[in-house]
Amino acid sequence: MADSRSASVPLSVTPADRPVYVIGAGPGGLAAAHALRARGIRAVVLDKADRLGASWRGHYDRLHLHTTRRLSALPGLKIPRRFGRWVSRDDVVRYLEKYAEHHELEIVTGVEVFRVERTGDGTGWLLHASGGRELTGSAVVVATGYNHTPRVPDWPGRAGYGGEFLHAGDYRNAAPYAGRDVLVVGVGNTGAEIAVDLVEGGAARVRLAVRTVPHLVRRSTLGWPAQYSGVLVRRLPVGLVDRLCRLQARVGVPDLSAHGLPRPDTGLYSRVRQGAIPVQDVGLIDAVRKGRVEIVAAVESFEEGSPGKVVLADGSRVEPDAVIAATGYTRALEGLVGHLGVLDDRGKPVVHGGGTPAQAPGLYFTGYTNPISGMFREMALDARKIAKAAAGYLRSRR
């Protein structure tokens, strides 16, 4: 298996042999490494985990891509047809393994990169990594993903809360919650799917705490995947797409106002531009309509005690057996590259794809956007752009 090539990294790489380092062996990093290699550039992928595709290995059991197999393939290798239209978590991992093997990618696992900085002479990039390693590369692609550092709001009283509390990143399946009362906090794609999973897995009661009403879209309508629409409308004016989506929602998505989920005031594409992609329905609409998932107000605070109560924004108090916070993740890039002035005030890289910051030439990012057209697709496009830009950059330095 390609990612088992965890031989120790040389503590220094000679200037004549400075590869492009790709930090992260998820789909973004693997795609970039292949695209670089396809242009004759040596790319070495570093990952802190002991196997590639660590994020996908850690996702909950029932997860399937909500983007289609065809539009989720990375450059140079189709996703096998037998994986079906909506590829399961395990098959995503299988595909990533196959991808690395097929393209003979150079991957070093078990190496965490802590900090990236310019070399003293300004001719390359120095990576400070675990085990005291200092690796010098000609360019760097940052592909560490944004699903590894859970974001949990700083709720008052949380520290003293005695009930079971976990972040969605630690949720695997509904088995531990059978017969129990569970509060899921946050209605992004993950919270929505976990709520449905809990219902189907026999939880006694499932409540879903909602702060901002989401846009709900059918994963596909009459065989037409929502992602195709996302790709088609991507370059259209935001106001126009908002109107089209409103129309589509009225036809395809029932009014759930009576169940606590009114239609959002802000348009779908406006929300996407603010960083919130719509929730793909994988059973939530039905579960809410049938009262199997109860929508409740946002979580305000926690009360001490065992198990303790959760205070909601409407003043009510609930006492679930377990709270699952599906409250997202942070990119957590500050320590790695924050000192280079390449992040905006939300911690997001100021460039992606072929772009490289003026003050940090040769530094590229992939996987930190959240486009309506699907991230796998975006990372595939970005990979090619990164390779092209890096090739030009490296040529210019000869």
Ligand X SMILES: Cc1cc2nc3c(=O)[nH]c(=O)nc-3n(C[C@H](O)[C@H](O)[C@H](O)COP(=O)(O)OP(=O)(O)OC[C@H]3O[C@@H](n4cnc5c(N)ncnc54)[C@H](O)[C@@H]3O)c2cc1C
38 or 381: CB nearest ligand X: 381
Residue 27 touching ligand X (CB under 6 A): yes
Closest distance of CB 305 from ligand X, Å: 32
Examine residue 45 and tell whether it contacts ligand X (CB under 6 A): no
Taking CB under 6 A as the binding criterion, the range among 52-60, 73-81, 241-249, 281-289 that sits at the site for ligand X is 52-60
Output the DSSP codes for 94-143.
HHHHHHHHHTT-EEEES--EEEEEE-TTSSSEEEEEGGGEEEEESEEEE-
Count Cβ atoms below 10 Å from residue 233 Cβ, excluding itself.
19
> Among 367, 380, 386, 389, which residue sits at the site for ligand X (rule: CB under 6 A)?
367
State which of residues 95, 161, 376, 393 lies at the interface with ligand X (CB under 6 A).
Answer: 376
State yes or no: residue 372 binds ligand X (CB under 6 A): no
Please select the residue that binds ligand X; options are 13, 20, 23, 323, rule is CB under 6 A: 23
Residue 46 touches ligand X, criterion: CB under 6 A? yes
Token pair belonging to 256: 């759930």
Interface residue with ligand X among 65, 183, 184, 194 (CB under 6 A) is 65
Identify residues 236-255 at the interface with ligand X (CB under 6 A): none
Shortest Å, Cβ 95 to ligand X: 12
Distance, in Å, from the CA atom of 22 to the CA atom of 121, rounded to the nearest integer, reads: 21
> Pick from 18, 33, 62, 67: which binds ligand X (CB under 6 A)?
67
- Decide if residue 148 touches ligand X (CB under 6 A): yes
Q: What are the tokens at 187? A: 């209605």
As measured in angstroms, the least distance from the Cβ of 147 to ligand X is 4
- Residue 47, interface with ligand X (CB under 6 A)? yes
- In the complex, least distance from residue 206 CB atom to ligand X, rounded to whole angstroms: 18
* For ligand X, the closer CB: 63 or 276: 63
Interacting positions 285-344 with ligand X (CB under 6 A):
336
Cα Rg, the chain, nearest whole Å: 22
Task: Tell me which of 19, 24, 191, 362 binds ligand X, using CB under 6 A.
Answer: 24
Please measure the distance between the N-terminal and C-terminal CA atoms of the chain and give it in whole angstroms. Answer: 35
Under rule CB under 6 A, residue 165 binds ligand X: no
Contacting residue, 9, 55, 225, 337, with ligand X by CB under 6 A: 55
311: tokens are 């205070």
What is the DSSP code string of 354-368?
Answer: T---TTSTTEEE-S-
Q: How far is CA 363 from CA 71, 194, 348, 372, 377, in A?
A: 27, 36, 14, 25, 21
- Residue number, 280 or 310, with CB nearest to ligand X: 280
Give me the torsion for CA of 137, 139, 145, 146, rounded to 10°: 110
Q: What is the β-pairing status of strands 43-47 and 106-109?
A: parallel
d(CA 203, CA 175): 9
Q: Kindly give, in sequence order, each residue whose CB lies less than 8 Å from that of residue 46, ignoring residues fewer than 6 positions away.
A: 9, 21, 22, 23, 24, 25, 107, 108, 111, 113, 127, 129, 135
**Contact residue for ligand X among 29, 264, 320, 362 (CB under 6 A):** 29
Question: Of the candidates 265, 269, 290, 291, which has an alpha carbon nearest to the alpha carbon of residue 278?
Answer: 269
Residues binding ligand X (CB under 6 A) = 23-29, 46-49, 54-56, 59, 63, 65-67, 72, 112-113, 143-145, 147-148, 190, 336, 367, 374-376
